Structure 1
Amino acid sequence: MKKLFLLALLCSSYSTLAVDVIVNPANNSALDENEIKQIFIGKAKSFSDGSKALPITQVDGSSVTDEFNEKVLNKSSSQLKAYWSKLVFTGKGTPPKEAADDAEVIKLVASNPNLIGFVSSGAADGSVKVVKSF
């Protein structure tokens, strides 16, 4: 009985939230998981077509941000904060700008072909293009 309870508890703590990475429809770059990660950790500054890549995240602590950080960046929120703190302190990087929620990310990405962001799966509308789902 204890084993069954522990298994149920473990399964319930596992998140099933899906995340969509979105770009402006004018962006025709093909993006794989590694390229997306490189953009969001500041190691890549452009898309495959050479155009500037500007990542935008959602506020720290939101479920979609936590899910993106873990699934795509393979880092917890605290690890990511430490990573960016080090880069900012040494003058080697600036963390992505933050948006309040899915709607704000969609609005910003739809209005700027250089932006790349992430939203909860299914939140994207026709004003943006989903390039990868996690």
Structure 2
Amino acid sequence: MRIKHLIGMTIFLAGTLFSVQSLADIAIIVHPSNGAALDADEVSRIFLGKAKSFPGGATAVPVNQAEGSIVRTAFDDGIIGKSASQLKSYWSKLVFTGKGTPPQEVSSEDEIKKLVASNPNMIGYIDAANVDSSVKVALTF
């Protein structure tokens, strides 16, 4: 019985490590004309609605990937520091009290790139492997 348990745990851990390693870096992207230097705390504040502008003063409009995507989960954990359920609770309270609205959510990385490339105020995140010249990388993690 212990050997079956050990084998099961080994397979689980190997699968977990493989899925984490298969995810490339995540790039926080902005419009190419955006000159703002961003760190993880500033990005988190923008996506939590605590900051409404980039450090230079321009309005910041965050856009999220679809809930449940691997990149969204990594972003929420790595930059925001909250799980999906914690974020739902956070935004529910702000929406209920009229103090905030969650970022727009889109279904694909291509859609995020198009939005960010067409609007100097947008900020989003995608798998770094999908970055092209239409957007500027402000931060990777």
The alignment's TM-score, normalised by the length of structure 1, stands at: 0.92
1:1-134 matches, cutoff 5 A = 6=9, 9-14=12-17, 15-16=20-21, 17=23, 18-134=25-141
**Identity rate of aligned residues, in percent?**
48
- From the superposition, tell whether residues 52 and 107 of structure 1 become closer, same or farther in structure 2 (CA, over 3 Å): same
**SS of 1:72 mapped into structure 2:** helix
Answer with 15-24 or 114-123: which moved more. 15-24
Gaps of 5+ in 1: none
Number of aligned residue pairs: give it.
Answer: 134
Letter in 2 for 1:108: L
Higher mean displacement: 23-32 or 6-15 = 6-15
User: What is the rounded CA distance, in whole Å, between the counterparts of 1:8 and 1:52 in structure 2?
Assistant: 47
RMSD of the TM alignment (CA)? 1.6
Counterpart CA distance in 1 for 2:59 and 2:15 is 40
Taking the aligned partners of 2:38 and 2:133, their CA distance within structure 1 comes to 19
Runs ≥4 residues deviating over 4 A:
1-5
